[in-house]
Every structure is written in structure tokens, then in C-alpha cells.
Structure 1
Amino acid sequence: MFSNRSSVGLDIGERRIKIVQVKKTRKGFRVSAYGCIETPPGAMENGVITDPVALGEQLGKLVRELLLQQKKSVAAVPGHQVYTRIMVMPQMKLQELRQAALFQASSFLPIDIEEVTSDIFPVREYEDEEGKKTEVFFIAVRKTETDNLFTCCQHAGLKLTRVEIGATALARVYSDYFQENQGKVIAVFNIGANRSCISVYSEGILSFLRFMPFGAAQFYPDENNGTGIHGDIDLKAERNHVLLHEIGSELMRSTGYYEIQNPGKSIDLTIICGGGSRIKGIEEELASRLNHPVELGRLNHNLILPNMDGQPLLADFRHDYPIALGLALRGVL
């Protein structure tokens, strides 16, 4: 018998908190509730939760406003203090790989391995003169960050069942690209309000991640709250042209790091999302600097979006909700 499961995705940013509830149906994954609310002042600092109680109380207002039927939720660690590394390990079972990778990580992590929560993503398997090997993408975050997420959700009346990073959520939302472009390397550039992130996927598997200390709010110096990023700015204006140059340079450095780590591979397509993707003409400007196509991300074709006046609310979801959507999907797949 078909199971109508549902799940809540929670994306916490420095400016806004976003929630999406997805229900699994026979026709696909239907968005049954969604919404956002401003992040309370002082609850986050430099992308890290500093007051999980205040954050949870604010989140609880949104939970009650949306009348969420499902309390089980999946959230992304909001901070940029994510430690990553490509590792090569002898082939072994997945759980053994996790343990071996964490042990190896003790040689480069700046904190004790007892203070982190970690996971791995196998990238590829191969064999050389030393035997069978597995290349894995290692990710670790501080346990204090995940603990703060649990505290926040508890005060909001949500039951946090899984924690991951935004990059893995985006892989689910953009899975159509990986099916359509097999053998190609695809990057996702998430332009947030204060910070941005580029994640690179080879054969649909996360293989590179880098955070950048700039966001769309820099294009709007006169808007203090930064919650209403719009597209009506002149990218040709001198100040904005300089900002675009800096963004393009950071992206090129990131793609260069990826290519150094992965000889013979280069990025074929960059997808953009986040509030900064609303800026009109930013795809063309970035494409001219990166020398490959750049486009606003298309959502997974199995997602069924709510309607307004008979039309799907596509724009908001493509710009602002990809991470929350991907997190919600994690709970129903």
C-alpha cells in the first residue's frame, strides 16, 4: 500500500528562517506548507547560532502560523564552519569507512574529533598497484552547532530527526541535472544574504565545497534588513561592477581549486540559487566570467508546488527555497 509520508525541511539563515513541508503522494512530492520569518536579532552571529532558545521561539511562531501537521523535520547546519577533505581509503564497508575517515581526520581537524559530527560521501572506487581504493568526500561540523539546532527545534515544537548541510539538500532538488548531464561536472552557487557557497558535483556526488564571505546584501548597502532582495539594480554601475568582478574572481579561484584536486575535470555548468539569484542579469554576467553556462536552477520535476491564481509559485521556490525543499525531500525519500 502506498505510504503518504510527509516531512519538514528547515533552512536557517542569518536574515530569514524558511520552512517547507512536503508530502509524498502517488503523483510526486507535494508542497503542503511553506513560509519564512525573519531571524531574530542576536540569535545568530557570523552564520553560527548563538541563542538557540530565542531562535526556537521565533521559529515556533512560524510553525504555529503554518499549522504544520508533521513535526518531524530535517535541518541544515547554518554555519560556514564546515570542515571538508577528499580522502583516499582502502575499500571497506561504509560504516568502517566512516570510522577510518574520522580517525584520519584527527591529523588535520583544528579541534578534537570528539567535538565533531561527521559523515562521508563515496566519490569513486578504483584499483591501483596498492589494491582497491575508495575516494570519499569527508564532512565534519562542530557538535555544538548540531546541539544548538536540536535545542532550537525543541523550543519550536519540532522533532529534529536528521541534520545535514545545504549542499547535500541541493543535490536532491537538482537531481534532474545529473540525469540529463551524465559524465559532466555541475556546480551550484548559492548566493545568500551575507555569505555564499559553491558546491561541485561529479556524477551527482558532492566532491567539492567552499564558503565565501560575501552575499547579495552587498548590492543593497542602503537596505539595512536585507530581507527583501529584489532584481532591480544596475549591474553596470561602477560599484556593482566591482562587486561582480570580486564574485567572479572568487568563483574562478574555487573552480581552480576543484580542478587542481581533480585533474582532467572542469565545471561544465553552474546553477545559481539563493536571494542573490534574483538580481536581473546575474546569470549572464557570471557566465561571461566563468566561460561556461550559468542558469537559475530548475527544481526536481517530481515536486508539486502550490498555486496562486492558478499558477505555480515557481519563482519564490527557485530562488529562496531550494535548500528547504531538499531537506524536506530527505525525510520522504
Structure 2
Amino acid sequence: MMLPGKNNLIGVDIGSYSVKVVSLVGAEGSYTLAGAALFRLPSEGGEAAPVTPPFLSGILQAKRIKGRRAAALMNGPSLIFKHLKLPIMPEKDLKEAVRWEVRKDLAIAVSPTDLILDYMSAAKAAKPGDNTVSIVAFAAVRSDVERTIALFRDAGLELRVLEVVPSALLFSFNINNAWEPGVNYAMLDIGETKSTLAIFKDKRLSFTREIGMGGADFTKCLASGLGKPEEDAEDYKIAFGLIAEDNDEDKAKKLLTQAVERLCTEVQRSFDYFQAQFREGSVAKLFISGGSSRLKGIEAVISRMIAVPIFKDDPLRSIQIPKAFDRTELAEIAPCLTVAVGLAARKS
């Protein structure tokens, strides 16, 4: 969803564990990194505290990220994704049809004026004589969107673009990869409390699914199985991941492996559904991103469970990096920046 204004320069990805910020200058094919940051959210009663305007503005000041125009994620408890198959119709009628279908799935009654909606044309169902169009719709109630706008305004930023994770992943993928005609690519962004799967083809979003499983679930599984506090389990997860150094750690490795395998099962089910529903062929490559994609050994487990070539995403690989940046630090946080890079590349 675009808001009136000039091109944005700052992509801000506010997650449940951390805030990621990326600033780019230039244009597609010649982007240069102007700023990048990852800040963990402060803890409040054992939970991550909500982002405040001073915290957000402080990140930009600490990293000397200049500019006021920003792109962010549409989020909040009301956010939903919905796949629709509708008859081909004029754009104006299609928008109203999508709005009607989305409203039917909301848990609360929402008037048409209180629903913020956007959608993208996706892959077409491959059936002869099929006069329908496949749509991926995103919607949230106005109050959730207005809270996000207010947060950025109070932090001294002009929010010009609101996107969702699947489209941000598409924009990041687009500036970093060469597209092969007719090939299906997938990205799995593994966050703290959820993971987002997106499938692309010919520079379009074909399918998306939000999976209610992420890094926090890996930690809880480990803590429960070992009988340890979650803080200790988190420290182990970060230090060793899925690679056991000796027999004492073998149980931990098995617990983490089982947790990742459950996520893989959901991804495979999504691939099977996509192929059966749209008959667009199988996924050729899977790219993983997000904080939990940095888990040591996770690629080997996913590759074993899903018979698709796996790649850890580096959203900065096609972006020029000035000498002033610490490349070692950037390499460490790069998998976490995929969504923020996509937001920064989204011009209004």
C-alpha cells in the first residue's frame, strides 16, 4: 500500500524480537548501502517491550541513518492473508469483490471504510478455459494501521509505504537474483514467533502462507526437553545450533532437529498444496532468511526434509558496500535484513 509522498529511503522491519533498519541510495541495479542496523528489543517482564518512538528514533541516530521517509510493515492482530480465485472482471469491480471476500473472514465485524486492503495478482490456475484470476489479498483494520503510522510520525519519520512480509521478500529477491522464466522460487523467513513462506514466479507473488512457528518455539522445545530455563536454552541454541560437539549435547541437537523438522513439514505441505492448486510446477530453489535462519546446521536439516536446493539468503550481495561499513558485522546480521532491504527497495 502506498501513501502519498516521494521515494522512500529507509526500510524498517519491526519484529517481535528485534528492529531491523536498512537505508539504500541509487536505483535497481546500482544500489549502495547508506545504513544498516539491528537492535534487539528491550525486555519487559520477560517479554520484548513494544517499540516506542524514542527507541525507533534512537536507532537511526545511533547508526547515523539520515532521512525521514520510511517504508514499514503492515502488522497488528487483525492482519490476514487470503488466497482468492475470482472471475475476470474490471479492476474497480475486482477491488470490491476482494474487499467483500476478505471481510467475510475477519473475526470481528468491520465496515468497508475501516478495512485497509491491498492485493496482488498471483499465479493462474492452469486449467483450459478457466476465466478466473488468482489473487493474494492482505488486509488489516484501520486502527492497527493508524497505530503504525502514529509510531513513525512521533519518531520524526514520514511513513510513505506500508507493505507485508511476502511482498517485501519479493522486492528483496528481485534486486538480488536473476529470474529464469517459468521457474518457481521460494523464500522462508524464519522469525521469532512465526515464519512466512512466499513463492515467486516471473517477478510475481504466486503463493504465501504464515506458519505459526519460529525461533521462540525452537527455544521452548529445547528448554522443555532439557529441563532448563529458556534463557539458558537460548544461549545454547545460538552457540551450537544443530551441531552437537560431544555426546552430552546430542540430546539438545535431537530436540532442536525435531523442532526444525516440524517447521519443514509445514513448508512441504504448503509446497504440495501450491502445486496441486495452481499446477504451476514444483519449487526449484528455497532461500531462507530471518534471525533463526542463522541457526548452525539448519540448512542441512531443511535440505534433508525438503528435496529442494537450499540457500541462506544474503540480501546485500548485489548492493555496493562502502568501505566505512564493518563487513564482518554485516555478514553476521545480513540474513536478518532481507525484509528491511525489500522495504528500502520499495519506492513510492
Q: Which has the higher helix share?
A: 2
Q: Indicate the structure with greater strand content.
A: 1
Contact residue 40 and residue 55 of structure 1 kept, 8 A: no
| 8 Å CA contact retained: 1:216, 1:276 | yes
| Paired letter, 2:240 | D
TM-score normalised per structure 1: 0.83
Determine if contact 2:26/2:32 at 8 Å carries over to the other structure: yes
- The residue that corresponds to 2:246 in the other structure is none
Structure 2 residue 57 is the aligned partner of structure 1 residue 55 = no
2: CA distance, partners of 1:254 / 1:76 = 23
The equivalent residue for 2:94 is: 97
Range with greater deviation from structure 2 (126-135 or 72-81):
126-135
Q: In structure 2, what is the Cα distance between the partners aligned to 1:258 and 1:89?
A: 17
Shift of 1:249: 1.7
SS in structure 2 at match of 1:268: strand
Distance (Å, rounded) in 2 between the aligned partners of 1:124 and 1:189: 19
Q: 2:80 aligns with which of 61, 80, 83?
A: 83
Residue 181 (structure 2) aligns with? 182
Select 1:283's aligned residue among 299, 302, 312: 299
What SS class does the counterpart of residue 69 from structure 1 fall into?
coil
- Residue 170 to residue 25, structure 1, CA distance change in 2 (3 Å): closer
Change in CA separation of 1:60 and 1:302 when aligned onto 2, cut-off 3 Å: same
The answer to whether the Cα contact below 8 Å between 2:179 and 2:202 also exists between their aligned partners in 1 is no
Task: Provide the secondary structure at the position in 2 that maps to 1:265.
Answer: coil
1:21 aligns with 2:23: yes
Residue range with higher mean Cα deviation, 101-110 or 198-207: 101-110
Residues 131 and 218 (structure 1), Cα distance of their counterparts in 2 relative to 1, 3 Å cut: closer
Q: Deviations over 1:231-258 (max 9, x none)?
A: 6323562212221221222222222332
Q: What letter matches 2:33 in structure 1?
A: V
- Higher deviation after alignment, 148-157 or 303-312: 303-312
The letter of the residue matching 1:232 is F
- 2:206 is equivalent to residue 207 of structure 1: yes
Local SS of the residue matching 2:122: strand
* Alpha-carbon distance, 1:206 to partner: 1.5
Deviations 1:261-303 (A, max 9, x none): 2235322221100111111221121011111111112437642
- Per-residue CA deviation, residues 161-191 of structure 1 (Å, 9 max, x unaligned), is 1111011111111126763332121111111
Length-normalised TM-score, structure 2: 0.79
CA deviations on 1:204-251 (whole Å, 9 max, x unpaired) are 322222222222234444563969974632356221222122122222
Shifted more, 217-226 versus 146-155: the winner is 217-226
Distance 1:107 1:233, change over 3 A: closer
1:293 aligns with 2:309: yes
Moved more, 179-188 or 78-87: 78-87
Give the superposition deviation at 1:75. 0.0
What do residues 95-153 of structure 1 show as CA deviations (whole Å, max 9, x unaligned)?
54323311233333333253321111112569989885432222212323211211211
Letter of the 1:321 counterpart: L
1:180 aligned counterpart, secondary structure: coil
Structure 2 vs 1, CA of residues 13 and 185 (structure 1 numbering), >3 Å: closer, same or farther?
Answer: same
Residues 82 and 203 of structure 1: CA distance in aligned 2, closer, same or farther (over 3 Å): farther
Partner in structure 1 of residue 120 of structure 2: 121
Deviates more, 1:239-248 or 1:103-112: 103-112
Amino acid at match of 1:138: A
The more displaced of 129-138 and 277-286 is 129-138
- Distance, in Å, in 2 between the alignment partners of 1:160 and 1:166 is 16
> For the aligned residues, what is the CA RMSD?
3.5
Is 1:315 the counterpart of 2:323? The answer is no
Q: Which residue of 2 aligns with 1:224?
A: 231
Separation (CA, whole Å) in 1 of partners of 2:292 and 2:165? 16
Q: Give the equivalent residue in structure 2 for 1:10.
A: 12
For the residues of structure 2 that align with 1:124 and 1:219, how far apart are their CA atoms? 33
| Higher mean C-alpha displacement, 24-33 vs 69-78 | 24-33
Q: 1:121 to 1:231 in 2, by over 3 A?
A: farther
State the 1:89 CA deviation.
Answer: 3.3
- Indicate which of 273, 289, 295 corresponds to 1:257: 273
Pick closer, same or farther for the CA change 1:5–1:110 going to 2, 3 Å.
closer
3-state DSSP class of the match of 1:321? Answer: helix
In the alignment, structure 1 segments of 5+ residues that lack a partner are none
* 8 Å contact kept, 2:287–2:310: yes
Percent of residue pairs bearing the same amino acid type: 20
Q: 1:322 Cα deviation (Å)?
A: 0.7
Match of 1:153, SS state, is: helix
CA displacement at 1:70 relative to structure 2 = 0.9
3-state SS in 2 of match to 1:174: helix
Partner secondary structure for residue 304 of structure 1: coil
Report the Cα offset of residue 311 of structure 1: 4.6
1:292 & 1:100 partners in 2: Cα distance? 36
**Contact 1:8 1:331 survives alignment (8 Å):** no
1:11/1:78 contact within 8 Å kept? no
